[in-house]
Amino acid sequence: MKTNRQSILRLIFTSFLLNALLFLCFEAQAQFWKKQTDTLLPDNEAFIESASVNKNSLTVIWDIADDYYMYRDQFRVVPITPGLTVGSASYPEGVVENDPEFGEVMVYFNRIQYTVPITRFPNSGDVLEFELKGQGCNKPVGVCYAPQTRLVSTSYTKPADSELAVSTQTDSVPNINTTTLNNSSKLEKSFWGYVITAFGAGILLSFTPCVLPMIPILAGIIAGQKNPTKLQSGWLAICYVIGTVVTYACAGWVAGASGVQLQAHFQSPWVIGVICTFLIILAISLFGAFKIQLPSHIQTKLGNASVNSRSASFSSFGLGLISALVVGACVSPILILTLGAAISKGDPVLGAAIMSAMALGMGSLLILFGFGAGWLLPRTGAWMNHIQVLFGFMVIGVAIYIASALPTVPALYLWAALLLWAGSYLLRFAGELSVDLMASFLRGAGFAALLWGGMALVGATGGGTEILNPLSSLQLSSGSAGTQKTKLPFDVVTTEEQAKALLSKARNSGKPTLVDFYADWCLDCVRMDKTTFLEPSVHQALTDWALIKVDVTNTNENSEAVKRYFDVFGPPATLFFKADGTEHQNLRQYGYLKKADFLTLVNQASQ
Amino acid sequence: MSNQNKILLAAVALAAFLIGAAINSARVTEISNASELLSAELLTGTGEEQTTRQNLGKFTLINFWASWCSPCRREMPLFQAVYEREKSNGFQIIGIAIDDVEKTQPLLDSMAISYPILYAEQTGMTLMELSGNELGAMPYSLLLDEKGNVIDQKLGEIHEAQLTAWSQGRVYEAEK
């Protein structure tokens, strides 16, 4: 027992060590590439505008981050509301900077407050809209930001001659309540209604490829135990599921409290890097690297079962905690839909409850699997060691699957290496067996793995990426040059106005329109660009379509406005519009669409 | 420490390094892709359409700037001086002005800039973002080889030592 406990402690220790190293390497290399952008703020954080109307004047405040400054000569107030006019501004004294071309210019650090007289109010209405313009720079780095234009709307009660009461609200803060008013029927559901729906959604999700990668992980954990009883392996599965529940609950809490879109974080290379690290550690331990150390004790280790199972429970819990992040990447479009209610209510408790219910739903299959594994796994002997190694290969496979979401990971090479390795292992394993039937089965499996690995290697050298179709790249290049895959001719837009303009253009020319929400950080979006949207058959099907790609890579007022306009929570989202400009609401999709599914949708939309 | 532990640690360190490298190369290749920048049709001061690709030299510095950006204006006389000195060796400088001709021409005249300037107002911001400068801040400069591959990039003012290194196609090491 001692060995096993030690090995688990070591597992935890090494994972910390590995992550520390990973962090160091990452940072050191990031330093090497010296991305100074990390130390600079985005413009909407460096310069924060606000405005209020007081009697007959508008007070404009720019809060400026430390080390940043703004130019006096670049400030402007442009009245937007019809009938509204303003006079010229009076500015306080600032700091004089020497400019190589323009001589001395006045700039402001930290904060600038100035007033503009309102010379005429509109005849009706109770909201004043202004555009505030300004331009600034970061002094120590020596960079300037493009001129900023911020729309602010100020509500005021119609002035008698006396005071104008005022509260302001800037447009850069997304106003979630108004965006979801049209969904108010959905909001009528009770707390428990949401929770039960989420649990059901979770159960449905457990049969998708999003949850299935968790099974080898869990199997690896269980197989890593010597002689687990049925109850023990079931318990490990429960610990694992509790781990996923905790992660989801936190994510739900954050979403409810802040409305932050979680997807971007779930799919970051960081999360993927950390989970792959943990999986590789798990695989190494399954290969026996942690246990060979004290071989004589392995025989006698059925000692302190409670200590062992406690540590195992913890590692199972921990792996659940982190693997939930990865699964989140896959189901997040549905997550975001489910969470829409919590986000719109701004209710962190509801958010946490919805997410935990969903995680429990997804976990029910895993728990069943855990108890089942207790029945099925062999008890003793050399078999167990081989089974562990095979699970180790599967866990590495999961790691490769996860890592292949990153566009630069040479996934097919890794698959080839894994398959060749696993294939030769299977052949050796078969050689040890005395039972002919089993040995020949394993030999067959081994040869199949070698063959597949070989094809993967060949495909990889040809630039292929897909393990399920390793030679696809070769078929392509052996065809005529005309089959060269090209991108779909999307019109890329970033603002609501641009999207509206293109939609109405399509309507005028009688074309149906495809609207694709995209972001660089959305791996599923990138994947769709690289697979589905390159398929000649997809090009064919979309010949007569107007194609709009809404790029929401940068989160700002424009991206929020355009998401609100289409009532889309975030990418990847695929929307189909009829030639008359109305949307096929029932065909709207969130998440990755493979060729067949996409073509079916296009066909339905074309009918 | 037993042998197994040593091997394990070595494996761990190697894995960490490889993962770090993979993650970073993911970031770096992502930010160093200049293909859009090379093929975009931009306008010259006289209204002709040109791409940066057709202006590439043996090594090319592409500098995003604007009249309202004082650090940009501060570095341009230095660019001009090094351009005069190194252009016979194949060093090219292309200024991409995120601005209009009326505002920039007086500045270009007073600084006697003779390297090519291309104009790209809003497109320029997008190109800058696509070529790795997500913040849209300026000045932002890229060093490309003759095929248009990105060798180095810099957000912020470029100083003489760095510019000299760049003019010979070298990454400037002192700051890295």
Domain annotation covers residue B92: yes
Of A330, A353, A380, which residue sits at a domain end?
A380
Q: A203 and A331, same structural domain?
A: yes
Looking at residue A4, its pLDDT comes to 56
Domain annotation covers residue A145: yes
Domain annotation covers residue A63: yes
pLDDT tens per residue, range A28-59:
555 444 444 457 788 888 898 888 887 788 88
Domain annotation covers residue B175: no
Domain annotation covers residue B77: yes
Residue in A25, A403, A406 closest to B20 by CB: A25
Looking at residue B102, its pLDDT comes to 87
Q: B16 and B95, same structural domain?
A: no
More confidently predicted of A111 and A388: A111
Between the alpha carbon of residue A549 and those of residues A496, A501, A538, B34, the distances in Å are 12, 13, 16, 21
Q: A211 and A156, same structural domain?
A: no
Name residue, tokens 């190293």: A21
The pair of structure tokens assigned to A54 is: 């007081």
Domain annotation covers residue B174: no
Confidence check: pLDDT of B42 > 80: yes
Q: Name the amino acid, one letter, at A421.
A: W
Looking at residue A43, its pLDDT comes to 83
Query: How much is the average pLDDT of A480-490?
Result: 61
Helix or strand (DSSP H, E) at B27? helix B3-31
With residues binned 3-state (H G I as helix, E B as strand, rest as coil), the percentages for chain B, rounded to 5, are 50, 20, 30
Q: B113 and B42, same structural domain?
A: yes
Q: B27 and B92, same structural domain?
A: no
Of A108, A142, A172, which residue sits at a domain end?
A172
Give the start-end residues of each E strand in A368-512.
Answer: 491-493
pLDDT cut 70: percent of chain A above it: 70
**How far is residue B46's CA from residue A3's CA, in Å, rounded to a whole number?**
78
Residues of B in contact with A100 (CB under 8 A): 70, 73-74
Substitution target from A33, A406, A521 for chain B, most B beta carbons within 10 A? A33
| DSSP-assigned beta bridge partners for residue A107 | A71, A95
Least confident of A254-263, A268-277, A549-558, A588-597: A254-263
- B73, B106 contact by CB (below 8 A): no
Number of Cα atoms under 13 Å in the Cβ half of residue A341: 23
**Omega before A410 cis (within 30°)?**
no
On average, the pLDDT of chain A sits at: 74
Domain annotation covers residue A472: no
Q: In the structure, what pLDDT confidence band is assigned to residue B92 with cuts at 50, 70 and 90? A: very high
Confidence check: pLDDT of B73 > 60: yes
Q: B135 and B86, same structural domain?
A: yes
What does the CA dihedral B85, B90, B91, B97 come to, rounded to 10 degrees?
110
pLDDT cut 90: percent of chain A above it: 5
More confidently predicted of A87 and A479: A87
Residue in A26, A101, A143 closest to B155 by CB: A143
Q: A227 and A157, same structural domain?
A: no
**How far is residue A26's CA from residue B23's CA, in Å, rounded to a whole number?**
8
Q: A77 and A157, same structural domain?
A: yes
pLDDT tens per residue, range A158-205:
555 433 333 333 333 333 332 333 333 333 457 777 788 778 877 777
Strand-pair category, A143-145 with A136-138: antiparallel
Q: A120 and A255, same structural domain?
A: no
Confidence check: pLDDT of B58 > 80: yes
Q: Among candidates A333, A341, A217, A196, which has minimal Cα distance to A285?
A: A217
Domain annotation covers residue B176: no
Least confident of A97-101, A205-209, A353-357: A205-209
Q: B82 and B148, same structural domain?
A: yes
| DSSP-assigned beta bridge partners for residue B62 | B94, B142
Specify the DSSP class assigned to residue A190.
-
pLDDT tens per residue, range A71-84:
888 898 988 888 88
Domain annotation covers residue B172: no
**How far is residue A525's CA from residue A427's CA, in Å, rounded to a whole number?**
40
Pairs across A and B, CB distance < 8 A: 150
Q: B1 and B14, same structural domain?
A: yes
Looking at residue A389, its pLDDT comes to 83
**How far is residue A296's CA from residue A411's CA, in Å, rounded to a whole number?**
39
Query: How much is the average pLDDT of A234-244?
Result: 87
Confidence check: pLDDT of A312 > 60: yes
Residue in A34, A144, A281 closest to B68 by CB: A144
**B77 → chain A, closest CA residue:** A100
Domain annotation covers residue B84: yes
Q: A142 and A233, same structural domain?
A: no
A97–B26 C-beta distance less than 8 A:
no
Find how far residue A138's CA is from the centre of its chain: 31
- B116, B27 contact by CB (below 8 A): no
Looking at residue A485, its pLDDT comes to 60
Confidence check: pLDDT of B95 > 90: yes
More confidently predicted of A207 and A283: A283
Between the alpha carbon of residue A263 and those of residues A207, A279, A564, the distances in Å are 21, 22, 17
- Which A residues in the span 278-307 are in contact with B, Cβ-Cβ below 8 Å? 280-281, 284, 289-290, 292-293
Could you tell me where the DSSP H helices lie in B32-88? 35-39, 70-86
Looking at residue A165, its pLDDT comes to 35
Q: A157 and A228, same structural domain?
A: no
Looking at residue A179, its pLDDT comes to 30
Domain annotation covers residue A300: yes
Domain annotation covers residue A387: no
**How far is residue B60's CA from residue B52's CA, in Å, rounded to a whole number?**
10
Confidence check: pLDDT of A469 > 50: yes
Show Cβ contacts of residue A56 under 8 Å, excluding neighbours closer than 6 positions: A117, A118, A159, A164
- A503, A548 contact by CB (below 8 A): yes
Specify the DSSP class assigned to residue A346.
T
Residue in B68, B107, B111 closest to A147 by CB: B68
Domain annotation covers residue A424: no
Domain annotation covers residue B98: yes
Domain annotation covers residue A316: yes
More confidently predicted of B127 and A334: B127
Specify the DSSP class assigned to residue A505.
H
- B91, B59 contact by CB (below 8 A): yes
- The pTM is what? 0.43
Confidence check: pLDDT of A61 > 80: yes
Q: A280 and A204, same structural domain?
A: yes
Substitution target from A11, A408, A490 for chain B, most B beta carbons within 10 A? A408
Q: B12 and B61, same structural domain?
A: no
What domain range is A510 assigned to?
Answer: 491-606
Q: B25 and B43, same structural domain?
A: no
- Which A residues in the span 157-216 are in contact with B, Cβ-Cβ below 8 Å? none
Q: Within an 8 Å CB–CB cutoff, is residue B157 touching chain A?
A: yes
pLDDT tens per residue, range A511-530:
899 999 887 766 677 778 87
Q: B127 and B65, same structural domain?
A: yes
Query: How much is the average pLDDT of A344-355?
Result: 76
Of A340, A362, A380, which residue sits at a domain end?
A380
Q: In the structure, what pLDDT confidence band is assigned to residue A139 with cuts at 50, 70 and 90? A: confident
Q: B58 and B100, same structural domain?
A: yes
**How far is residue A62's CA from residue A45's CA, in Å, rounded to a whole number?**
11
Q: B75 and B23, same structural domain?
A: no
Q: A321 and A212, same structural domain?
A: yes
Number of domains in chain B: 2
Confidence check: pLDDT of A323 > 80: no
Residues of B in contact with A43 (CB under 8 A): 135-137
Domain annotation covers residue A224: yes
- A467, A411 contact by CB (below 8 A): yes
Q: In the structure, what pLDDT confidence band is assigned to residue A324 with cuts at 50, 70 and 90? A: confident
Q: B25 and B45, same structural domain?
A: no
Question: Residue A130 sits in a domain of what CATH number?
Answer: 2.60.40.1250
Closest chain B C-alpha to A345 CA, distance in angstroms? 32
Confidence check: pLDDT of B67 > 70: yes
Number of domains in chain A: 3
Between the alpha carbon of residue A572 and those of residues A42, A202, A496, A560, the distances in Å are 24, 20, 17, 15
Question: Residue A563 sits in a domain of what CATH number?
Answer: 3.40.30.10
What domain range is B24 assigned to?
Answer: 1-31
Angle between helix axes A230-258 and A214-223 (nearest 10 degrees) is 140
Q: In the structure, what pLDDT confidence band is assigned to residue A262 with cuts at 50, 70 and 90? A: low
Confidence check: pLDDT of A298 > 90: no
The pair of structure tokens assigned to A301 is: 């280790």
Q: A237 and A302, same structural domain?
A: yes
- Which A residues in the span 103-122 are in contact with B, Cβ-Cβ below 8 Å? 105
Q: A156 and A195, same structural domain?
A: no
